[in-house]
Amino acid sequence: MKTLKTLLLYALLVLALPAQAENMLMVRVHDDFEETMIQLKSTLNDYGYRIAHIQKCDGGLSGFGYKTDLYKSVFFGKFQEMRRLTREHPEIIPYVPLKIAVMKEKDTVLLVAMNPTTLEPLFPDPDLRIQFERWESDIRAIFEEMREKQKL
Residue 115 has pLDDT above 70, yes or no: yes
Residue 116's pLDDT band, with cuts at 50, 70 and 90, is very high
Q: Report d(CA 53, CA 101) in Å as an integer.
A: 12
Which residues, including other chains, have CB under 8 Å from residue 62's CB and lie 6 or more apart?
68
- pLDDT (0 to 100) of residue 107: 87
If 0-12 CB within 10 Å is exposed, 13-18 middle and 19+ buried, where does residue 113 land? buried
Bridge-partner residues for 102, per DSSP? Answer: 72, 111
Q: Are 6 and 97 in contact (CB under 8 A)?
A: no
If 0-12 CB within 10 Å is exposed, 13-18 middle and 19+ buried, where does residue 140 land? middle
Q: Report d(CA 120, CA 41) in Å as an integer.
A: 27
Which residues, including other chains, have CB under 8 Å from residue 65's CB and lie 6 or more apart?
none
Nearest to 24, CA basis, from 122, 133, 113, 142: 113
Q: Are 65 and 102 in contact (CB under 8 A)?
A: no
Residue 21 has pLDDT above 70, yes or no: no
Which residues, including other chains, have CB under 8 Å from residue 140's CB and lie 6 or more apart?
25
| Mean pLDDT calculated for residue range 93-102 | 96
- The structural domains of the chain, ordered by start, are 2-10+21-149 (3.30.310.70)
pLDDT in tens, 44-96: 999 999 999 999 886 666 667 766 668 899 999 999 999 999 999 999 999 99
pLDDT in tens, 130-150: 999 999 999 999 999 999 886
